[in-house]
Amino acid sequence: MKKDPFKLGIMGGTFNPIHHGHLAAAEFVREEFKLDEILFVPSGKPPHKHKSDIASPEHRWTMTLLATGTNKCFSVSSVEIDRRGKSYTGDTILELKEIYGARSDCYFITGADAIAEISTWHKSGNLSELAKFIAVSRPGYKLDMSKIDSRFHRCTYLVEVPALAISSTEIRERIRRGKTIKYLVPEIVEKYIYKNKLYQGV
């Protein structure tokens, strides 16, 4: 039987590709906030991106599934990939509350750079009533709360994770330049990237 209230961590991101920094951050937050589960939610169509070097939603979802398979507290959702249109976080949290129960206590976890822009997100007015927000970053990052709507001040937390020195941008760049990505991503993800020839274009 599920705990009541169930404490659900929603790990949102493009995961292009998922790496050890994401996994370490999710595990660290799970422990610190005593969460029952961390659900990774790869974005289908990130609302603010028009980039051509984003792997397909199916590839990003599969890599996320492969990377999280060894942690029994981790799971992966395709809600944003299955939904047509842009991946708005508010829609995702509402959909997950229908699945996990209205009383579930949701913690939306993502990069601090993304959380810094939360006041500009779609229907941001309601977001602070739906979840708590955990901004993860490498040590030394300062979240400028003066740019964030005051409604978020009581429900937003900054968590430092040294492993977040790893970034998806750097990994894609290393692949393009033919450099090793060993130990930056799980081995199973590394194999998947090479097998499917991802991120090798200019």
Sites of contact with ligand NAP (CB under 6 A):
11-14, 22, 25, 43, 46-48, 87-89, 109-111, 113-114, 121-122, 136, 164, 167-169
| Nearest CB to ligand NAP, comparing residues 19 and 104 | 19
DSSP H helical segments within the chain, as ranges? 20-32, 57-68, 79-82, 89-100, 112-115, 124-130, 168-176, 187-195
3-class secondary-structure state, position 60? helix
- Shortest approach of ligand NAP to residue 176 CB, angstroms? 15
The residue with tokens 């942690």 is 71
Give the tokens for residue 190. Answer: 């590394």
Question: Which distant-in-sequence residues (6+ apart) come within 8 Å of 41 by Cβ?
Answer: 10, 11, 12, 13, 76, 77, 79, 80, 92, 96
- Shortest approach of ligand NAP to residue 47 CB, angstroms? 4
- Shortest approach of ligand NAP to residue 87 CB, angstroms? 5
CB-nearest residue to ligand NAP: 111
| Nearest CB to ligand NAP, comparing residues 11 and 55 | 11
| Nearest CB to ligand NAP, comparing residues 164 and 198 | 164
- Shortest approach of ligand NAP to residue 1 CB, angstroms? 29
- Shortest approach of ligand NAP to residue 202 CB, angstroms? 19
| Nearest CB to ligand NAP, comparing residues 88 and 107 | 88
What's the rounded Cα separation, in Å, for the pair 65 and 54?
Answer: 17
| Nearest CB to ligand NAP, comparing residues 136 and 198 | 136
Q: Residue 199: how many CB atoms within 10 A of its CB?
A: 21
Whether residue 163 contacts residue 171, with contact meaning beta carbons closer than 8 Å, is answered with no
